[in-house]
């Protein structure tokens, strides 16, 4: 069977004026459906860059990326948008919740961009997602009124609401205390257990260990991978 993600010698060079930064250098790996992968490495090693390329927020300078066997560089903006909307769930370190929307509204946003979903179902689907992260009673709260852990759980609910096959989490617990972190991570792995694929950027070795595999970036290069995955 084909891999969910196949990265072939992906490189990313940022050009700002005369300065060239090689954020990613020849990265290759495969990831199967339902697996979890940790991406670790020092600050500035290119973790977020890699994630944003896989999440279709950016494109590689060279190399090829396949999602579900499709070559990403051959996709139109429209197709990329559809993929982002239906197949990818993003979770950020800083949550990226919209301040003037309440919790339920934030969660149902992805549904609003999916024409297959009728607006009459928004509320139900949203509430289910909210219940699954244990925040059923906070539906009408504004993000500012929640704690950091609660906000991240809202973000997770939002990432899951469209039942994506790929979850991208960029240091989801970076802003949280350790007890809350554990909660959040448990939640993420519950979803993986239900069949989703997880890409997790983290600094914490414990966390990386919970994943099926790990790649370690060092100045844009894969310096190590555990257990040895196809690199």
Q: Which residues bind ligand ATP (CB under 6 A)?
A: 14, 16, 21, 23, 41, 43-49
- The window from 5-13, 45-53, 182-190, 203-211 that contacts Mg ion (CB under 5 A) reads 45-53
Supply the minimum distance, in Å, between the C-beta of residue 3 and ligand ATP.
Answer: 23
Which residue lies nearer to ligand ATP by CB, 95 or 122?
95
- Would you tell me which residues interact with other proteins (CB under 8 A)? 16, 52, 55, 57-58, 77-78, 81-82, 84-86, 90, 96-102, 104-105, 108-110, 112-114, 119-120, 122-123, 126, 139-140, 158
Which residue lies nearer to ligand ATP by CB, 180 or 218?
218
Token pair for 229: 């995955």
Q: Please spell the DSSP secondary structure of 168-187, one letter per residue.
A: EEESTTTTS-HHHHHHHHHH
Q: Does 45 interact with Mg ion (rule: CB under 5 A)?
A: no
Neighbours of 150 (CB within 10 A): 19
Token pair for 59: 């494109």
CA distance 224 to 14: 24
CA distance 165 to 34: 8
Supply the minimum distance, in Å, between the C-beta of residue 152 and other proteins.
Answer: 14
Which residue lies nearer to other proteins by CB, 170 or 214?
170
Interface residues for Mg ion in 47-76 (CB under 5 A)? 48
Give burial (CB, 10 Å; 0-12/13-18/19+) of 204.
middle
> How, if at all, do strands 5-16 and 62-67 pair?
antiparallel
| Among the listed residues 62, 20, 24, the one whose alpha carbon sits nearest the alpha carbon of residue 44 | 24
Contact between 46 and 220 under an 8 Å Cβ cutoff? The reply is yes
The entry of other proteins, Mg ion, ligand ATP, none that residue 44 binds, CB within 5 to 8 Å by partner kind? ligand ATP
Which residue lies nearer to Mg ion by CB, 48 or 108?
48
Supply the minimum distance, in Å, between the C-beta of residue 55 and ligand ATP.
Answer: 12
């Amino acid at each position: 069977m084909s891999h969910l993600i196949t990265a072939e010698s992906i490189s990313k060079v940022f050009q700002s004026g005369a300065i060239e930064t090689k954020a990613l250098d020849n990265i290759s790996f495969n990831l199967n459906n339902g697996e979890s992968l940790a991406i670790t490495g020092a600050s500035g090693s290119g973790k977020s860059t890699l994630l944003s390329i896989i999440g279709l927020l950016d494109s590689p300078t060279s190399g090829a990326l396949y999602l579900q066997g499709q070559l990403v560089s051959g996709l139109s903006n429209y197709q990329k948008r559809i993929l982002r909307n239906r197949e990818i769930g993003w979770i950020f370190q800083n949550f990226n919740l919209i301040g003037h929307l309440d919790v339920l509204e934030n969660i149902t946003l992805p549904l609003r961009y999916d024409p297959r979903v009728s607006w009459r179902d928004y509320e139900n689907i949203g509430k289910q997602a909210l219940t699954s992260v244990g925040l059923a009673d906070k539906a009408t709260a504004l993000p500012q009124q929640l704690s950091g852990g609660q906000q991240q759980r809202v973000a997770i609910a939002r990432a899951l609401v469209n039942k994506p096959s790929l979850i991208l989490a960029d240091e989801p617990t970076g802003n949280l205390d350790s007890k809350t972190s554990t909660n959040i991570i448990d939640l993420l792995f519950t979803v993986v257990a239900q069949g989703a694929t997880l890409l997790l950027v983290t600094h914490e070795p414990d966390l990386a260990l919970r994943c099926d595999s790990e790649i370690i970036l060092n100045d844009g290069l894969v310096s190590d991978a555990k257990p040895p995955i196809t690199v």
